[in-house]
Amino acid sequence: MKIAVCIKQVVTREWQLRVNDQKTWIRDQDASFELNEPDAYALEEALRLKEKHGGEVIVCCAGPARATQVIREALARGADRAVHVEADALATADAATVAAALAAAIRTEEGQVDLVLTGLQSDDQGFGQVGVVLAETLGMPHATIIMEVQVDGSNLRVKRELEGGWFQWVGLPMPALLTIQSGINQLRYATLKGIMAAKKKEIRKVAAPAAAAGGTRVTSLYFPEKGKQTQVIAGGPAEAAKELVKRLREEARAL
């Protein structure tokens, strides 16, 4: 089984965010970066499927040169090799642009990719769209918010997480694409042996598609302003309580 796992490099959660001078993105020149956490769960699931069914795990990443950091980390955790679509513009690109770049990388693979795994969403933009747009671009059936994966020959049976504590089992043929929910498994970490082995593993460079202009443009980015306001609700206890519940529901949207 050939499994492609799409990963992304994002700013670490502990880093103090600052907006750049153009107010179009964060100032990331002096930021620290890490592997997108939902993608780490997708990688772990791919490694477990490989251990159970055989095959290889290929890491696919679309991003600037610095994204090599998380690619090496994925290789150290057990991935066999990697494909890197390198372009500075991909660091802030929209879902359609990133999906087009990843699709171009996957199409350069010799032979058919049986399964493509992505994290449910990214920790920075969080749109949750790259996986489904990528599936449409590749012409693959897909399922989202996956909590369990079962392989039966050339078919999959997957467990989807729904709202309200409900789950849904879905069957689909391979090749297919799945977006993996965080918490599906227990993450492994790179060992010293894995880190040393990763230095010798292949990272194949692929040029970004020329037409990857994207359809979304950020015009302004800012931090929400914090403010305090006190309101006194007049009337008796019953009337005041009723008015308070109304305001919490309709204005504060806390209920």
Q: Name the pairing type of β-strands 33-35 and 176-180.
A: unpaired
Q: Is the pLDDT of residue 164 over 90?
A: no
- Spatial contact of 80 and 56, defined as CB atoms under 8 Å apart: yes
Q: Tell me what the mean pLDDT of segment 55-79 comes to.
A: 95
Q: For 80-96, what is each residue's pLDDT tens digit?
A: 999 999 998 888 888 89
- Spatial contact of 29 and 75, defined as CB atoms under 8 Å apart: no
Tell me: domain 2-207, CATH 3.20.20.70, correct? no
For residue 211, what pLDDT band results from cuts at 50, 70 and 90? low
For residue 213, what pLDDT band results from cuts at 50, 70 and 90? low
For residue 170, what pLDDT band results from cuts at 50, 70 and 90? very high
Sign, CA dihedral 29-32-35-36, equals negative
Amino acid 16: pLDDT: 82
Q: What is the DSSP string of 125-185?
A: S----HHHHHHHHHT--EEEEEEEEEEETTEEEEEEE-GGG-EEEEEEESSEEEEEPTTSS
- Spatial contact of 66 and 51, defined as CB atoms under 8 Å apart: no
Q: What is the largest CA-CA distance in the chain?
A: 75
Residues ≥6 apart with Cβ < 8 Å to 193: none
Q: For 111-159, what is each residue's pLDDT tens digit?
A: 889 999 999 999 888 889 999 999 999 999 999 999 999 999 999 999 9
- Spatial contact of 74 and 7, defined as CB atoms under 8 Å apart: yes
